[in-house]
Amino acid sequence: MSAGQGIFRAAVLDPARPSPAGLSDGRGHAAGKRFDVYRNNVAVGLTEVLETGFPVIRKLIGEDRFSAVCGVFLRQSPPASPILSRYGDGFPAFLAGFEPLAHLRYLADVAALELAIRQSYHAADALPILPESLSAVPPERVDDLRLGLAPALRVVRSHWPIHDIWSYNTVENAPKPAPVAQDVLITRPEFDPAPQVLPPGGAGFIAALQQGATLGTAAEQAARDAPDFDLGEVLALLLAGNAIVSADLPGDGHA
């Protein structure tokens, strides 16, 4: 086929370009406004995808400004695949560098939280371990445990109160955000992702587990970062969120 589709694509994404030559309305006129149907379908369709994915960002900056921001983003970064539930991976970074919204410094991190919630929703299923299987481990061997975490688990770290900004805009009667840094843990107990604030050291502990550290090493690392790190509290959050899917001891396999 001719160079047609490249020209068509460029004109669809850029309303300032003329519509491609050689198109008509079937009645002897040039296609004119009819080409705009495609321009409109593409821009409106992708904006709706971003609205579905980032409802809190839309609420925070307002519908009109959100549409305008999406218009810039979708032309610069159209989807890389037809799986639109994944569209917007680059939106948090885009917002971080988007000059007109630079004064809303928390925005990119809130977008990262919304993206992580969506990723958690679509992540693979995995059977959690029973809490009893941890309590059955002999105390002297607990430090050697290697914990496998659920594919739906996500952690988003921020200098801003992103959990409270998110909940204030999605949950009725949620408290007003206070100016604190928040790390957010997302677990998916069944099908609905559940974001909650991680206690100090929690994010570092989970990151260490994800890199393959034993429970003991991960807890030590977390305690160095946050002296009041409470291992029991974080394990309880993970267990309640069905987020631990394996617990292995060296030598004798499963705990």
Partner 1 sequence: MPDPSVRLTTLPAAPGVGYKPQHFADIMRDPGGVAWFEIHAENYMGDGGRPIAQLRHLAERHPVSVHGIGLGIGGEGRLDPDHLTRLKHLCDWLTPASFSEHLAWSSHEGAYLNDLLPLPYTAATLACVADHIDETQEALGRPMLLENPSSYLVFDESTMSEPEFLGELARRTGCGLLLDVNNVFVSATNLGMSALAYLDAFPLARVGELHLGGHHEDADEHGAPLLIDSHDHAITEPVWTLLDETFARLGACPVLIERDDDIPPWPTLEAEAARAGRALARAVKRAAA
Interface with partner 1 by CB under 8 A: which residues? 1-2, 4-6, 8-9, 12-13, 22-27, 29, 31-35, 37-38, 41-42, 45-46, 49, 78-85, 121-125, 151-152, 188, 191-192
The DSSP code sequence of 108-119 is: HHHHHHHHHHHH
Q: What SS3 class is residue 225? A: helix
Residue 81 or 173 having the CB closest to partner 1: 81
CB of 89 to partner 1, least distance (A): 13
CB of 240 to partner 1, least distance (A): 19
CB of 72 to partner 1, least distance (A): 15
CB of 34 to partner 1, least distance (A): 4
Q: How many CB atoms lie within 10 A of CB 156?
A: 25
Contact between 150 and 240 under an 8 Å Cβ cutoff? The reply is no
Contact between 189 and 180 under an 8 Å Cβ cutoff? The reply is no
Phi, psi (5° rounding) for residue 78? -65, 160
Please name the residue that has the structure tokens 């059955």.
136
State the Cα–Cα distance between residues 195 and 153, nearest whole angstrom.
Answer: 10
- For residue 179 the two structure tokens come to 């100016």
Residue 25 or 233 having the CB closest to partner 1: 25
CB of 45 to partner 1, least distance (A): 5
Contact between 74 and 47 under an 8 Å Cβ cutoff? The reply is yes
Residue 42 or 239 having the CB closest to partner 1: 42
CA 65 to chain centre: 21
